[in-house]
Amino acid sequence: MASSDSPPAHRRYPRTRPSSAAHVALVGLLGFGLFGAASFLDGSDETVVEAAPVDDGGTAPTTDATATSTGSATAAASTPDTTALTVPKQEGVPRVYTAGDSTAGGLGTLLEPFLVEMGVEQRLDYKVSSGLTRDDFYSWPDRLREQVPMLDPEVVVVMFGGNDAQPIELPDGRKVNVDAPEWAEEYGRRVGETMDYLSEGGRAVIWVGVTSAEPDSFNDRLVVLRDVLLAQAATRPQISFVDPWPLFNGPDGTFAEYVVDDDGEAKSMRSADDGFHLNPTGAERLARRVAVEIGEVTGKPAPPLPENPWAIDGASGVYKVQPGDAWALIARRLGVSTEVLLETNGVTADEPLYVDDLVKVPTPITGIEVISPVPSTSPPTT
């Protein structure tokens, strides 16, 4: 928009009438007064109340998201009005409070349509790059203690971990790496404390773990983190722990970009650039399961998992061939060796591939925990 800091040289319009400072003050007072009244009357808790304080590390954008704790447009993000003590709930509509890092954001976003269908309300509160390890960047304990009493949810869904597999500061001020025993102790303490706080008063808590990652160094740290989470959840029967780890691995229990979805078709579940984040398809798969848990707790039944007609003939599902695919590429995507893939399909490496062909995905190696979709009883319809 053009600047207006000088009047036009030739005036074709009558001159702008200047106002006095008192006039401006009056307009300002009236204007803000009206705005305040309007906001109060419509009970909006989405007013621009305060800036994101910079010494929390700010909410300046990273390369992957500017939308920090506001969530996406589909989820009912909220910063409760500081004048209200609680955020009002609708009669008979249970409230879910979903909190965590960017992975929680993905989960919450894909959870929303399921919850809408179930008649459950969601408040999504995620912060990119956050977690329990770096409370100097963003303190989740503080945030939860602020939000949970205000929202008073029936269910809390929590997902951290992606940003937590890094050096942690112990109470005595020392920083230790993930492979140190003190790390597991300290992180476990923080997780346990958070679990205890959230489940106070019998509130239902669904704690979602982490997925595996492609880079080995990162994955090794995530393994440690996952063990801590499993241990903390194991001693707390009131916490429902949803473990995404086996849900998104290939037949050998390690990272795979393409995983067989609940409908039997192998799909890309991971985000293209980082070998860790789930893309919307993956997030939806996870959301489906979390919705089932929420359904059990709230008594509002979740949509059933789709049927998988493809778990037959020694396969756990199928992969649809895309343009440019080769056996080795498909094998890498599925997280299996080329030999195993060829063997499962009963072919040799020079077998031609055509677009839209269905390739069988090998079943999980026995003893490895991978969650395959449940085979259905009805025959496949091609």
Partner 1 sequence: MLYPTIAFAGFFAVVFVGSWLLRPSAAVWKLFLLAASYVFYAWWEPWWCLVLLGLTLATQVLSTGVHRSRGTPAARLWLAAAVAVPVTTLAVVKYGPQADLEIVTSADRIVAVLIPVGISYLSFQSVLFVLDVHRGRVRPAKLVDTGLFLAFFPRLLAGPVVRADEFLPQLRRRQDPRHLEAAPAMRLIATGLVKALVISNYLAVELVDPVFAAPADHGALTVLAASLGFLVQLYCDIGGYADLAVGMALLLGLRLRHDMASPLVAGSLQQFWGRWHVTVGRFFRESVFTSLGGERTGGGGAMANVFITFVVMGLWLGDAVTLVLFGAVSGALVVAERAVLGVEGPEGPMGLRRVVGTPVTLLVVSLSFVLLRVGSLDQATELLGRLTDLGGPNDLLTPLLLATLATVVLLQAVPGDVWSGVDTVLSRTPIVVQAVTLAAVLYLVARLGPAEVVPPFQLRF
- Using CB under 8 A, which of the segments 59-67, 148-156, 343-351, 358-366 binds partner 1? 59-67
Q: Is 356 in the site for partner 1 (CB under 8 A)?
A: no
- Binding segment (CB under 8 A) for partner 1, from list 9-17, 238-246, 283-291, 357-365: 9-17
Q: Nearest distance from residue 269's CB to partner 1, in Å?
A: 12
Strands (E), 128-281: 155-159, 168-169, 175-176, 204-208, 239-242, 258-260, 266-268
- 155 strand-pairing partners: 96, 204
Residue with tokens 């190696």: 365
Rounded to a whole number of angstroms, the minimum distance from the CB of residue 99 to partner 1 is: 15
Q: Per the structure block, which two tokens stand in for 303?
A: 């949509």
Cα angle, residue 9 at apex, residues 5 and 12 outer, rounded to 5°: 105
The single residue among 134, 190, 289, 360 that binds partner 1, judged by CB under 8 A, is 134
Asked if 217 is part of the footprint of partner 1 (rule: CB under 8 A), the reply reads: no
Token readout for 184 is 């597991």
Check binding of 1 to partner 1 (CB under 8 A): yes
The DSSP code for 316 is E
Q: 3-state DSSP call for residue 108?
A: helix
Q: Does 333 bind partner 1 (CB under 8 A)?
A: no
- Binding mask 164-183 vs partner 1 (x if CB under 8 A, - otherwise)? --xx----------------
The whole-angstrom distance between residue 211's C-alpha and the CA centroid of its chain comes to 11
- List the one residue from 31, 141, 149, 314 that touches partner 1 (CB under 8 A): 31
DSSP SS3 for 259: strand
CA-CA distances (angstroms) from residue 313 to 175, 340, 346, 360?
52, 15, 11, 9
> In the complex, what is the shortest distance from the CB of residue 138 to partner 1, in angstroms, rounded to a whole number?
8
User: Judged by CB under 8 A, does residue 2 bind partner 1?
Assistant: yes
Within 272-301, which residues bind partner 1 (CB under 8 A)? 272-273, 279-280
Question: How many residues bind partner 1, per CB under 8 A?
Answer: 75
Sign of the four-CA dihedral 299, 302, 307, 311: negative
CB-nearer residue toward partner 1: 66 or 86:
66
> CB of 39: closest distance to partner 1 in angstroms?
6
* Cβ 105 vs Cβ 138: under 8 Å: no
Q: Is 229 helix (H, G, I), strand (E, B) or coil?
A: helix
Q: Which is nearer to partner 1, 167 or 301 (CB)?
A: 167
The DSSP call for residue 311 is: -
85 near partner 1 (CB under 8 A):
no
194 lies in the binding site for partner 1 (CB under 8 A): no
Residue 160 C-beta: closest distance to partner 1, Å: 13
